[in-house]
Amino acid sequence: MGGSYLATAAAKQFGADTVKSGYLVIGALPQSGVIPRMRTEGQRAGFLALTKDFPADHIIEIDTKNTLQESYTQMNNVLGRIPPGAPILIIAINDQATMGMLQAVRAAGRVDQAIAVGNGADEAEALATDPKLVAATGSFPGSYGNYLIPIALSALAGKAVPEATFVTHQMVTKANICKFYKEFACAGEADGYTFPEAEFASYLSGLKKEDWLKGYEAILPKQ
């Protein structure tokens, strides 16, 4: 969701052809294993699904160490590899990493060339006010009990329970943030984003064949 939203928003801001001259910077967390890798690989796949022929050598992955400060440092280190004037397209493992990366771009005086999508939607003030943080994918852990309690009750009753349960994610934008955080006003109109179902199905089919996911098949949706 995050990657495909970034692709859509970047094409709207810069133009589809100009986006292909840009650089996608992915704030990853490689030392944390398969599940975090699924996040960032999914973000990459979503972006590439809607940005055909994007140059592979224009994708830069950094190790954020899951902190704002390290994200800032590593983003600052790679900015010199991005030519002046090229769009800087940012996505990351979580909102804090995204914010650190954006801060580095601002400090370098290049924020006008940047656009970012977060992951978590827990930096609500930044999401509501920062024009360069255009959206964030929200899973809202505060609602996980709605999923867990029925599973626990079923298990206690001796009923079969699923190996994995998938939560509903939302794209949180300036146009709908008031629905999730009542202290912030919604601004602007709905952007018309549509989740790319066909591209996701194709990605999921290929993902099931990946060796690095062996043993984690249960956390992949069936369709």
Using 50, 70 and 90 to split pLDDT, how confident is the model at 103? very high
Q: Rounded mean pLDDT of the chain?
A: 94
pLDDT at 35 over 70: yes
Distance in angstroms (rounded) separating the CA atoms of residues 92 and 44: 10
Phi, psi of 71 (to 5 degrees): -60, -40
Q: Is 126 left (phi over 0), alpha (psi -120 to 50) or beta?
A: alpha
Using 50, 70 and 90 to split pLDDT, how confident is the model at 223? low
Distance in angstroms (rounded) separating the CA atoms of residues 140 and 66: 18
The proportion of the chain whose per-residue pLDDT surpasses 90, expressed as a percent, equals: 84
pLDDT at 222 over 80: no
Closest CA to 90 of 10, 25, 18, 17: 25
Write the pLDDT tens digit of every residue in 39-62. Answer: 999 999 999 999 999 999 999 999
Closest CA to 26 of 93, 84, 109, 108: 93
pLDDT at 156 over 80: yes
Q: Give the H or E element holding residue 92.
A: strand 88-92
Write the pLDDT tens digit of every residue in 126-147. Answer: 999 999 999 999 999 999 999 9
pLDDT of 157: 98
Which pair of structure tokens corresponds to residue 199? 């591209």
Distance in angstroms (rounded) separating the CA atoms of residues 143 and 139: 8
- CB within 8 Å of 131: residues ≥ 6 apart: none
